[in-house]
Amino acid sequence: MTKDEQQAIIALIKKQVVPAIGCTEPMAVALCVAKATELLGTVPEHVTLRLSANILKNAMGVGIPGTGMIGLPIAVALGALIGRPERELEVLCDCDKAAVERGKQFIAENRITITLEEQDPDKLYINALVTSQGHEAEARIKTHHTHFVWLAKDGQPLEGGAQACPDASAAGGEEAEDGPSLTLHKVYEFATSTDVDDLRFILEAKRLNEAAAMSGLRENYGHQLGKTMCSPLGRGIMGDSIFAKVLSVTSCACDARMAGAMVPVMSNSGSGNQGICATMPVVVFAEENHNTEEELIRALIISNLTAIYIKQTLGALSALCGCVVASTGSSCGITYLMGGTYEQISYSVKNMIANLTGMICDGAKPSCALKLTSGVSTAVLSAMLAMQHKYVSSQEGIIDDDVDQSIHNLTSIGSRGMDETDRFVLDIMTHKTK
């Protein structure tokens, strides 16, 4: 691998592995509103949003950090009132009690209109139109959570506001517009051959996500899955094994994030849960297994870059739960920490795809911790099997002899095969009896 290729992949990781406060879907909506408000130059009298179904689905039931509230309205109100668009997914970093009270008043005055975007096929679509005293400004995000494709004021596009945004949805998934083309072997080669000092930046993911896990252990967030596994009952059933610690620490971080804890996490491919899931199982296993720091760094790169690779063809949002992607990455990282070869890492991927494909995404919410724990437990089991050279073969189900084709089978199902499932899930979520 050339130095230029290595640098391109490092740039890709740094673009996709970034800090985020709160669930990335409502934060992306708040970001879009904040940007439109910045263009308007004043607090808007009214905010009109058009959102794709997947954005709506992922923002309906999740806690908004620092507010004690769930759902889109407070995120929208705060985006208009105190949003800092230059902070991207940390757009609401200035949230405090006074801002929340102002946000509640903004909502009470019926200054927010949210509708479903039915024309644009992109699964990640946010359009914010803000108005005040006869003036208006508009901002639009597509394909990626921070990717603005349209900026305008009073109907006139601003210089640099309209950007090329390929309609990859027509091909079934929002493929990455830039960055190097990856394969699983290229992921492995990069992670194991690049100078470790060039990869040390990934330890920031460890620091942030460990802090989120500690927050989840201290407080009673969400369903308290992580704390339950650490309780006498949990330890009595699960014991004090590496396996139990991997599950409990990962769950604690997710409990905190989904309940709206005001703590940043390191996200992966636009998802904080994916960042947690790609990071914490590897971190805990390395600590318990007494791996070296270099081994941990390389394992974290394998895990996070595998998730990025899978998302290149799956798209930022889909009907497939993101823990399927991220826990596949963590299984690769754990296999590496066990001393696994590239061949054994490819076995772990096949085991993961054979097991978890089809897990639905029914929005961001506290119970995501349950799904992350299912994914991570499968990651450990898949790695254990892989180390014994046991794997699901091409004679079984959707698995192919070629591991990259197996991955593409997974992403094709998630991006195209489950489209009707996605619509059905949203329909159920929006028509439940109260």
pLDDT of amino acid 430:
82
CATH class of 19-165: alpha beta
pLDDT of residue 168: 38
Q: What topology does CATH give the domain 184-430?
A: 2-methylcitrate dehydratase PrpD (1.10.4100)
Partner residues linked to 266 by β-bridges: 19
Phi-psi region of 393 (alpha: psi -120 to 50; beta: other; left: phi over 0): beta
- Terminal Cα distance for the chain, rounded: 57
Residue 125 vs residues 56, 327, 348: alpha-carbon distances, Å: 10, 26, 34
Q: Look at phi and psi of residue 99 and say left if phi exceeds 0, alpha if psi is from -120 to 50, else beta.
A: alpha
**Series of mean pLDDT values for 10-residue runs along the chain (434 residues):** 95 95 91 98 97 90 89 96 94 94 97 95 95 97 93 88 42 49 97 98 98 95 94 93 96 93 91 96 98 98 98 89 96 98 98 96 92 97 98 97 98 92 88 72
What's residue 60's pLDDT? 83
The C-alpha atoms of residue 153 and residue 137 are separated, in whole angstroms, by 4
Which pLDDT does position 318 carry in this prediction?
87
Strand duo 63-64 + 125-132: pairing: unpaired
Tokens 């985006």, residue located: 79
CB atoms within 10 A of CB 161: 18
Predicted TM-score (pTM) of the model is 0.88
Tokens of 350: 């096949």
The three-state (H, E, C) secondary structure of 246-267, written as one string: HHHHHHHHHHHHHCCCCCEEEC
CA distance 360 to 421: 8
Report the pLDDT value the prediction gives residue 178, as an integer from 0 to 100.
Answer: 55
Residue 73 CA, distance from chain mean position: 21
- Alpha carbons 376 and 322: distance in angstroms, whole number: 12
User: CB-based contacts of 150: which residues, under 8 Å, 6+ apart?
Assistant: 127, 138, 139, 140, 157, 161, 162, 163
Residues, the chain: 434
Q: What pLDDT does 139 receive?
A: 98
C-alpha distances in angstroms, 404 versus 181, 258, 358, 410? 12, 32, 18, 10
Q: What is the pLDDT of residue 433?
A: 66
Return residue ranges of the chain for CATH 1.10.4100.10: 184-430
Tokens 């799956």 belong to residue: 314
